[in-house]
C-alpha cells in the first residue's frame, strides 16, 4: 500500500486561506485585516502576508489605478470624496488609499481621512484605508503596492491613491498608477507654479480646483495659463497631450468630464500598447525596490554591523573620518 504524506497545516495558515476567501468575497473587514497583516513589520507576519498575496495575485490587475496629488490645501480629500461618490453612484466599486504623513520624531500620523470623507466612507461600494507613510519617500506607504493588490482582489475596479503632497519623489506614485492627476490651487502665484513644473511633467491631467463663486474668473485664467505652459512640456504619456481644466469639488462641477477624460486615456493607452507596457514596468520597478529594501534590512540584521555603523557615525561627528572613507571602511570589513 502506498503511503501518502500530508504537510501539517497550522491554524494560522488555515486562517490565511479563509482570509483570502473572505477578501475575494468582498468583505471589508477581511480586507482591512489583510492590509494590516501586510503592513506588519513582524518577521512571522511576513510569511503569512506573502502567502496571502500569493493566493490573491491571480485575481489582481482588473482595475484602473489613479494617483492623486497636489499641494496642501488644494482640496485633494474633498475632490476624492465627491469624485469617488460619483463613481460609486455609477455602479463602480472604489477603494481609496489615503496616505497620512508620519511624524519624523515619533512616527505617529493623524489617519483622519475617514473623518474628512464621511459621505464616501459610508457608501457600501467604497472602501477607505488610511495608512502612514512611515518614513517612506514619495508620499506613499512602503506597502502601497501590496495594498493595491488586495483591493483589486476584493473586486474594487477603481483605485484612488491620495499622496501626502507634492515632493521630489512623487515619481514613485507615477510608477504605481495608470493615470496621474495633479490638483492645483485656484489663483496660485507664479512662484508656486514654477515649483510644480517637475510634477506637471509627469501628470496626465491637471485640475484647477475650487472653481466656484468668486474664484471662477481666476480659475479660468489659471486654466489658460496652465494649458499654455503644458503645451511646451514633454507629455507624461507619449502622444497624449496633458491639459488643464477647472472643477469644483464642492459643487461637483466638472467631475463627469474628469472621468470621461480618464476613460478616454485608458482606451487610448490600451489601443497603443502603452497600458500593458506601463504595467509591466511597474512590476519590474516593484521587484527592484523590494530587492533594495531587503538588502538594507538584511545588512542591519547583525548586531556587529549596527555597532560598527554607530562607531563610524561617532568618528564622522568627531571629524576623524569623512563619510565617504567611513563607507569604504564599513564595506571593507
User: pLDDT tens for residues 182-213?
Assistant: 998 776 554 444 445 678 888 999 999 888 88
How many Å apart are CA 64 and CA 327, to the nearest integer? Answer: 43
Inter-residue contact 258 to 83 (CB < 8 Å)? yes
User: pLDDT tens for residues 289-304?
Assistant: 889 888 888 888 888 8
Instruction: Specify the residue for cell string 501590496.
Output: 146
Specify whether the backbone of 273 is left (phi greater than 0), alpha (psi in -120 to 50) or beta. left
- The least confident of 128-137, 167-176, 263-272 is 128-137
Q: How confident is the model over 14-23, as a mean pLDDT?
A: 91
- Those residues whose C-beta lies under 8 Å from the C-beta of residue 223, and which sit 6 or more positions away, are 208, 244, 245, 246
What are the structural domains of the chain? 10-59 (1.20.5.170), 60-274 (3.40.50.300), 286-332 (no CATH)
Strand pairing class (64-70; 158-162): parallel
Amino acid at each position: 500500500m502506498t503511503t501518502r504524506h500530508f504537510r501539517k497545516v497550522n491554524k494560522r495558515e488555515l486562517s490565511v486561506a479563509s482570509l483570502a476567501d473572505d477578501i475575494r468575497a468582498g468583505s471589508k473587514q477581511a480586507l482591512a485585516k489583510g492590509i494590516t497583516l501586510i503592513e506588519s513589520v513582524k518577521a512571522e507576519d511576513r510569511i503569512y502576508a506573502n502567502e496571502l498575496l500569493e493566493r490573491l495575485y491571480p485575481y489582481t490587475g482588473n482595475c484602473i489605478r489613479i494617483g492623486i496629488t497636489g499641494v496642501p490645501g488644494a482640496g485633494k480629500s474633498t475632490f476624492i470624496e465627491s469624485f469617488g461618490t460619483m463613481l460609486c453612484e455609477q455602479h463602480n466599486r472604489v477603494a481609496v488609499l489615503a496616505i497620512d504623513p508620519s511624524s519624523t520624531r515619533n512616527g505617529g500620523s493623524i489617519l483622519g481621512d475617514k473623518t474628512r470623507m464621511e459621505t464616501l466612507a459610508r457608501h457600501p461600494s467604497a472602501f477607505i484605508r488610511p495608512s502612514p507613510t512611515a518614513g517612506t519617500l514619495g508620499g506613499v506607504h512602503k506597502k502601497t503596492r501590496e495594498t493595491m493588490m488586495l483591493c483589486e482582489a476584493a473586486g474594487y475596479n477603481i483605485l484612488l491613491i491620495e499622496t501626502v503632497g507634492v515632493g521630489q519623489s512623487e515619481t514613485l506614485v507615477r510608477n504605481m498608477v495608470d493615470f496621474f492627476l495633479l490638483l492645483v490651487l485656484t489663483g496660485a502665484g507664479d512662484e508656486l507654479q514654477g515649483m510644480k513644473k517637475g510634477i506637471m511633467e509627469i501628470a496626465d491631467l491637471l485640475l484647477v480646483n475650487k472653481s466656484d463663486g468668486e474664484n471662477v474668473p481666476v480659475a479660468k485664467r489659471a486654466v489658460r495659463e496652465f494649458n499654455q505652459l503644458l503645451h511646451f512640456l514633454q507629455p507624461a504619456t507619449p502622444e497624449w497631450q496633458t491639459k488643464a481644466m477647472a472643477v469644483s469639488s464642492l459643487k461637483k462641477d466638472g467631475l463627469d468630464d474628469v472621468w470621461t477624460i480618464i476613460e478616454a486615456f485608458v482606451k487610448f493607452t490600451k489601443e497603443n500598447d502603452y497600458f500593458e507596457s506601463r504595467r509591466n514596468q511597474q512590476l519590474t520597478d516593484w521587484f527592484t525596490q523590494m530587492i533594495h529594501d531587503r538588502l538594507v534590512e538584511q545588512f542591519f540584521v547583525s548586531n556587529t554591523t549596527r555597532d560598527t555603523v554607530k562607531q563610524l557615525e561617532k568618528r564622522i561627528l568627531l571629524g576623524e573620518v569623512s563619510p565617504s572613507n567611513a563607507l569604504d571602511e564599513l564595506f571593507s570589513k
